[in-house]
């Protein structure tokens, strides 16, 4: 059972004690991501996350690296569309040391111009690496097409021009506005003493300014559309997007079961018909993507260019069949059971529990209990499934193709 508490400066803490483990995972979740950016500063959330590791008033970047290695666990960070997370997983006896390092990085990060220029080059390399991943490109293009003109479709990495333009004053102003108590949630899962945990969090985060919450999002219109891109690659990459449930919405349970049936496992319709029966693709799957006031069910396939038309037709035929005939009783039962097993197994991972509690508390201020989640999955019947199928596949579609660019022979 998770516990929620607000510290003196307004910082929300959510935690769950798991007495049978010897590890503990802690995450600092900030309401800072590409959805909160503008075209002019797109990429600044991700850049600011990088700068957390470049040193503080007390520690150099090398000090942070050395002390992290001495912890023997894992300390890292990531930025997404709606949030930034700085996290660590350590053995329980080293929790306070991890809290000390994380709090120092989050509150006292410095922005020296020399470090900024170095990190720009690092992020340019990250963008280059991204350009070598056409699957990621296709899915980012899908978001930009599905939510055209909205910041939800921005790239998390930003653009090279924006990254090149960032300076210390901008980054300092950003952290002062977004790395605040009201806009932050601390999530902890694993082995810890509850009283000592809250004492150390009060101690190490007392200097975090109160600020205001930034993560109140309006409902975002799903526009749909089609986009294409050519790259010097071997495979073609296809992605289809349909409007799905937003985070915390009740339809999310039926949508998750539907994803399992359609392309979420090795016995799913698309995996069986495209890969196993006809050998037309190595990778094909469907998955839900949920945000505050917006969501998408997407389908992806990586395949030889000559197979694009036939695979596209198979995928769209399956959506049409679902609209007409729904799912069988057996598919519904299997989809529910698989989803429950996957969820229960995830409860044995302290990092996964920390992630769910932190993200949900930050963005929706609600964390479902395991009992509520299982009950929600079990509640998906044919009526709910048919309602979700009609809503998802009976509306707008976003479609992306990234295809090989062939050079003409001289």
DSSP-derived pairing of the beta strands 184-190 and 12-17: parallel
Task: For residue 26, list its beta bridge partners.
Answer: 88, 188
Which stretch of DSSP H or E encloses residue 301?
strand 294-303
Could you list the pLDDT tens digit for every one of the 410 residues in the chain? 889 999 999 999 999 999 899 999 999 999 999 999 999 999 999 999 999 999 998 999 999 999 999 888 799 999 999 999 999 999 999 999 999 999 999 999 998 999 999 999 999 999 999 999 999 999 999 999 999 999 999 999 999 999 999 999 999 999 999 999 999 999 999 999 999 999 999 999 999 999 999 988 889 999 999 999 999 999 999 999 999 999 988 899 999 999 999 999 999 999 999 999 999 999 999 999 999 999 999 999 999 999 999 999 999 999 999 999 999 999 999 999 999 999 999 888 999 999 999 999 999 878 888 999 999 999 999 999 999 999 999 989 999 999 998 754 43
Q: Where in the chain is the domain with CATH 3.30.830.10?
A: 3-204, 225-404
Q: Indicate the CATH number for domain 3-204.
A: 3.30.830.10
Give the separation between CA 241 and CA 289, rounded to whole angstroms: 10
Rounded to the nearest integer, the mean pLDDT of the chain is 95
Structure-token match 């910041």, residue found: 151
Task: For residue range 113-133, list pLDDT tens digits in order.
Answer: 999 999 999 999 999 999 999
Task: For residue range 201-231, list pLDDT tens digits in order.
Answer: 999 999 999 999 998 888 999 999 999 999 9
CA 278 to mean position of chain CA atoms: 32
Which candidate in 49, 82, 318, 399 is catalytic? 49
**What pLDDT score does 347 carry?**
86
Which alpha helices (H) appear in 74-166, and where do they start and end? 95-108, 113-131, 134-146, 160-165
Give the separation between CA 355 and CA 21, rounded to whole angstroms: 17
Q: Any catalytic annotation for residue 372?
A: no
Which stretch of DSSP H or E encloses residue 172?
helix 168-178
3-state secondary structure of 311: helix
Fold (topology level) of 225-404? Cytochrome Bc1 Complex; Chain A, domain 1 (3.30.830)
Give the separation between CA 139 and CA 145, rounded to whole angstroms: 10
Cβ pair 206, 363 in contact under 8 A: no
């Amino acid at each position: 059972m998770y516990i929620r508490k607000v510290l003196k400066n307004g910082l929300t803490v959510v935690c769950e004690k798991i007495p049978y483990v010897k590890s503990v995972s802690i995450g600092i979740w900030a309401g800072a991501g590409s959805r909160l950016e503008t075209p002019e500063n797109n990429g600044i959330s991700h850049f600011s996350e990088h700068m957390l590791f470049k040193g503080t008033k007390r520690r150099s970047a090398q000090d942070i690296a050395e002390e992290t290695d001495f912890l023997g666990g894992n300390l890292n960070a990531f930025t997404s569309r709606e949030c930034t997370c700085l996290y660590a997983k350590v053995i329980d006896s080293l929790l306070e040391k991890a809290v000390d390092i994380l709090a120092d990085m989050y509150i006292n990060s410095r922005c020296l111009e020399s470090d900024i220029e170095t990190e720009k080059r690092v992020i340019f390399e990250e963008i280059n690496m991204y350009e070598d991943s056409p699957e990621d490109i296709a899915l980012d293009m899908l978001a930009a097409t599905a939510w055209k003109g909205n910041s939800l479709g921005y790239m998390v990495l930003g653009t090279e021009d924006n990254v090149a333009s960032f300076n210390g004053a901008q980054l300092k102003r950003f952290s002062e506005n977004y790395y605040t108590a009201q806009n932050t949630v601390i999530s902890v899962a694993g082995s810890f003493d509850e009283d000592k945990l809250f004492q150390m969090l009060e101690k190490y985060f007392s200097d975090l300014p109160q600020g205001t919450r930034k993560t109140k999002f309006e409902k975002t219109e799903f526009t749909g559309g089609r986009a294409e891109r050519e790259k010097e690659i071997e495979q073609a990459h296809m992605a289809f997007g349909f409007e799905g449930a937003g985070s915390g919405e009740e339809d999310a349970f039926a949508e998750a079961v539907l994803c399992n049936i359609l392309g979420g496992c090795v016995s799913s319709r698309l995996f069986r018909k495209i890969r196993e029966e006809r050998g037309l693709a190595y990778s094909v799957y469907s998955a839900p993507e949920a945000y505050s006031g917006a969501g998408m069910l997407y389908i992806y396939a990586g395949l030889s260019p000559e197979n694009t038309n036939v695979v596209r037709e198979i995928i769209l035929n399956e959506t049409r069949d679902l609209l007409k005939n729904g799912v069988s009783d057996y598919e519904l039962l299997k989809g529910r059971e698989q989803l429950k097993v996957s969820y229960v197994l995830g409860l044995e991972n302290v990092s996964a529990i920390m992630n769910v509690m932190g993200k949900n508390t930050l963005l929706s201020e609600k964390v479902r209990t395991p009992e509520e989640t299982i009950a929600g999955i079990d509640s998906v019947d044919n009526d709910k499934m048919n309602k979700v199928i009609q809503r998802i596949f009976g509306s707008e579609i976003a479609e992306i193709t990234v295809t090989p660019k062939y050079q003409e022979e001289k």
